[in-house]
Structure 1
Amino acid sequence: MDLNENKNDVPEPVNTPGQSPASELYRHLKKRAEEFDKKLDGGQCVGVRLIPAGQSVTFQVTALGYCDPNLIIFGGITENGLEVQLLQHVSQLNFLLMAMPRANPKEPKIPLGFIQ
């Protein structure tokens, strides 16, 4: 499965004049994730571990977007190869950036998919 082919499934960011919590959070997340990614070796990629309602979900981040005033959108691939898309209200955002093994380390590393 080509991880880049699903990157555009995350909606383009939508700004609402005068309201910007999601876009501000998006810029902060982007900066942190890119800094984290620079520290990883060639066999690793940026992953996210979410712990909603006592469960744990881990996936490689392939896309990140937002919809102002309060929605952050993550796209990615789980460790089992399943495509996921998480829509998260900014007030409930709580996740862990983590290094995870790349599914195909012999193929070129897929850059983080930030939609601006």
Structure 2
Amino acid sequence: MSDEEIRTLAEAHEESALLRSRAVHADPDAPATAEQKPLPEALCARPTEEKSPAEWAYERLILYIQNFEEQLDKDEEIAMGMTDGGAGLLRIEGIGFFAPDIVSFYGRDMEGGRMQLVQHVTQLNVTLRALPKPKGEVEAQRIGFRLAKGLGRGETTGE
């Protein structure tokens, strides 16, 4: 095998390990999206091939939530719209996964009742919404930043 073939093989291996993502917006001044930002080191610590679909979906959902929250006003919080239309909105208070294929969301509905959505990764559809913080709350919650703190501590793998 020539040096050029070895280099090409190494480049192909490196390219296959790189994550592929892209987002294009009509507004060139639009805020950066989760796909456009570099991945945190904690997400790159283990190869994606070693992660279950649920774990990998969970980790990327955290990035989407965190990015969405970075663009909220100080009096807004993140909520999730249900795709079936009948369950309403879930004010996100937590997210989890159960390998290999379940992702779960924890929170409250608009009346303050507890809610949990358990979803198979093949059915995963999430609509993130900005809502006013609940009356009487001093500060809007930022769940994305709390979730992101756990990414590098084994909290995503159940270790």
Q: Same fold (TM over 0.5)?
A: yes
Q: Which runs of 5+ in 1 are unaligned?
A: 1-17
Quick one: distance in 2 between partners of 1:58 and 1:29?
A: 17
Higher RCO (CA < 8 A, seq sep 6+): 1
Structure 2 counterpart of 1:79, which letter? M
Partner of residue 100, structure 1:
131
Partner of residue 6, structure 1:
none
The Cα of 1:106 is off from its aligned counterpart by 4.4
Deviations 1:15-52 (A, max 9, x none): xxx55100000111000110000100111001100122
Q: Which runs of 5+ in 2 are unaligned?
A: 1-49
Partner of residue 63, structure 2:
31
Equivalent pairs: percent with the same residue?
A: 26
Q: Which has the higher helix share?
A: 2
Normalised to the residue count of structure 2, the TM-score between the two structures is: 0.56
Contact conserved, 1:50 with 1:58, CA < 8 A, in 2? yes
Q: Which has the higher strand share?
A: 1
The Cα of 1:108 is off from its aligned counterpart by 2.6
Structure 1 counterpart of 2:112, which letter? G
Partner of residue 46, structure 1:
78
CA-atom RMSD in angstroms: 1.8
Deviating above 6 A after TM superposition, structure 1's stretches of 4 or more consecutive aligned residues are none
Contact conserved, 2:54 with 2:100, CA < 8 A, in 1? yes
Structure 2 counterpart of 1:20, which letter? S
Contact conserved, 1:42 with 1:105, CA < 8 A, in 2? no
